[in-house]
Structure 1
């Protein structure tokens, strides 16, 4: 077993060479992609393809378990598999360099194929992968040559000894001889484990006639080269991230005021009862759930919004032209369909934008269309029922959020906001096209994955304080949280403690039917474990259902119940 371990360990520097070559190639590709199109970066392209191919249940599991960390975990998984194969490539390159190099090139080829098959991809999207292949191959050649040059020429003495004395000899260390395969296979390492001092010395004549060994690379040279490769990889990766951050920044964008500004929001309950969600969600704490591993680069001066399809007259607007139209501002709560009962993928903000109906009226909707197919700058699509956009709700193409231009992560320069619909059918970010079409003729990203085509947000409520499984002190405290029934509004919220009768809570300020309501209930908590539950009732009398449903395909439902300990 020890000999086997030594045999495997002897190849570890070559495995490291494969890993370093791949890292350096990927970093170089990422750097080039940051200058061209960030999404064409080899790792990001593969990651995006993995997202597209991942079954819906697995996607929902990732969002539920990892939240906003699902993307870093996915990228880490892609990197782990890639580097494992890179290590194999390095081991193969030790004796069969073309095979090892071929495996490394195959990995990059897969990344290139993933990049050029993305929506709206162009031929230039393969450039980062080509750069990764060239840089990775050059580094692999360099490291393998240095490693081969730095190894002790143990095979030559052993071969010489075998020629002088073919019969195996014995020593305190056990039998010593050629490998079982009789060639240069991986077991040669075992056959050469006997210390050099114990081997039968060569004759003088043999030594004189032996060719002079090539100069070996020093360990210092090898360590310096390895360190430089690692440093270059880290530097290029860091530079790529900095360039992407610079290119996706929001410049000086001045938003005009709404045609009819609305009153400021009233003070929320969070100012009185700690732990209840803020009445208005700050932009930096607003949830983000999408399939993008990197933010699209959208220069505002080059951006246009196009309205086309089944319309009387197609047209396009620049950002300045869109912002010059009469703007509305509305307080609207948004919810992700991936939100579990009591989940955190919900936020409430003040949005500024152009009414969607103004754009549709200007285009003149035809007689056949039954959906609006909205397209993002990266080719991602969402389907919104046309009737929903024209039923009087304040659907808009938003350009502002909480008094500021949209942040890059929330869709700058413009996004779709549709009150009362889950984001996957009404909240396209990085919007660039609105196409009037039919469900028979066109399907969107989530429709192709069997999600619902019409997904109104379900009435629901959440306990914010105390937290699930929390331990609190006995005595006077409050149970509090938020509730929502978009397009209808909240009439009341009730709390149940330990399965007893429902108690009506006190509601917080009202900002309209499309906005959530805060609530609280005073509670004299006694020591022990307690079960808390909450439900909401809408203004039209609908009571939040207790029937449990998963997010797929049209949103979760059920009553939230939590356990807390009082001491």
Structure 2
């Protein structure tokens, strides 16, 4: 490696160390402001709002619930690349490098002040991070070039690479001290800042101390096996369990930093086109009669056969009762919910008020809501996709109109009302799996049409006649329905299995293939298995 190449590598290292110091300082200061003010989180939140809907759909389809981790990784990589370029420019002329850091800092400040739910103080970590990065860059560049000023009056400063003295580092001891110090600060500031954020802004202790009141109306037990042929197969083994554990419940939202809301200070304001504005505390909700219901929630981004759907037992206050108390006026056709992180979700008022078990949920699967799923309070509306109903960390509910306000996802082109579409999927056997010729193979899965219900499920093998599956019992029409069909493969080779469901009125699900945008995916799910 010649001197020029080594100098480029060293210049890149200078940029990386400086950027790491900036990030570490930003994380450390964010622990004194709030986690969402972290420059990286602020940039990520702003990128989410600026990303076109097709790109968001692609990310959800490709990465599912790992989409946030992928986004943050991408931001760190982009910062690293820019840092290398800044380092190379700074070693040639420090003023250029400082300008580059200032530009990145300005981007962080802009994002902090324009992200959903921002506060004025959110800019502070980006400002301090920028200053720390500029300080580190200056010290490291001076050690490399031997210069003592920004304007380039010292040894090697401002010289073209061809005329600069043929040394790699003008002051090696100073550079080593500065480099080690920068790396140590970056590690301590970055990881220490994140640790402090988790310590200072953590609702786990408050959640653990809560004992939810017993519901006045219970969801009841759910059989986890088929109604017939129980000895031959068990849906809990052949398909998916009826209940989704909280740790496996799908999560699609835009919160890169999960809001940590103190239930003691939480309030929900209900206002707008109402006769009486209400402000409810967490204690107010727990003092009201609670109901418990099994509800299946689904994401509109779910592809045919996708996994962005889960079922849980939610406990909460019936939302319609609260709205009647507030006196929602006839002209209010939308309920605009606002999350603690600034997310807006609009629900059709008529749907919430039509008698279904829409609720302000405080519990999930017998425990207080997990933080990731909306603690202390979230909305749950059976029969609507989550983007128009399931507002997590809810703090504001305005009775308004669809004409007056567009919620976050609707501004991106998604349908305003979002009723769940009838659908079904095969969970067992999996695609490209193997089965034994002559054996009895349970083909199993789930079908759903929340608040309408599923009356029949049929399975087709290799384009033949549709065969009726056995359905498991369900507590209500607001949940998915497990099903099983016993199939005996008689020949070796590939076999194509398809499934279709029928709603409570006997109408079949649509076979027309449509992608999720803008109102939900349609089409029949199929898998191909090999018999041997």
Aligned runs of 1:254-403 on 2, under 5 Å?
Answer: 254-268=211-225, 274-403=237-366
Q: Which has the larger radius of gyration?
A: 1
- Pick aligned residue for 1:501 from 457, 462, 465: 465
Aligned runs of 1:377-456 on 2, under 5 Å?
Answer: 377-456=340-419
Structure-1 separation of matches of 2:258 and 2:385: 21
Structure-1 separation of matches of 2:352 and 2:246: 25
RMSD value, Cα: 2.1
Work out whether 1:129 is the aligned partner of 2:126.
yes
SS of residue in 1 equivalent to 2:336: strand
Work out whether 1:22 is the aligned partner of 2:19.
yes
Work out whether 1:186 is the aligned partner of 2:156.
no
Q: What is residue 505 of structure 2 aligned with on the other side? A: 540
Contact 2:224 2:241 in 1 (8 A): no
- 1:262 is displaced (CA, Å) by 3.4
Work out whether 1:239 is the aligned partner of 2:204.
no
Contact 1:468 1:563 in 2 (8 A): yes
SS of residue in 2 equivalent to 1:348: strand
- 1:346 is displaced (CA, Å) by 0.2
Contact 1:248 1:408 in 2 (8 A): no
- 1:95 is displaced (CA, Å) by 2.7
- Give the TM-score of the pair, scaled to structure 2: 0.92
Contact 1:27 1:237 in 2 (8 A): yes
Q: What is residue 549 of structure 1 aligned with on the other side? A: 514
- 1:149 is displaced (CA, Å) by 4.2
- 1:271 is displaced (CA, Å) by 5.0
Structure-2 separation of matches of 1:229 and 1:120: 33
Structure-1 separation of matches of 2:435 and 2:6: 54
Distance 1:87 1:537, change over 3 A: same
Contact 1:37 1:297 in 2 (8 A): no
Distance 1:273 1:350, change over 3 A: closer
SS of residue in 1 equivalent to 2:337: strand
SS of residue in 2 equivalent to 1:387: helix
Distance 1:87 1:345, change over 3 A: same
- Pick aligned residue for 2:10 from 13, 31, 40: 13
Question: CA deviation digits over 1:336-356, x for unaligned, max 9?
Answer: 000000000000000001111
The gaps in structure 2 that reach 5 residues or longer are 148-155, 227-232
Distance 1:388 1:135, change over 3 A: same
Structure-2 separation of matches of 1:125 and 1:141: 26
Question: CA deviation digits over 1:479-502, x for unaligned, max 9?
Answer: 111111211211111111111111
Distance 1:249 1:275, change over 3 A: farther
Structure-1 separation of matches of 2:262 and 2:162: 59
Contact 1:331 1:351 in 2 (8 A): yes
Structure-1 separation of matches of 2:251 and 2:235: 28
- 1:420 is displaced (CA, Å) by 0.2
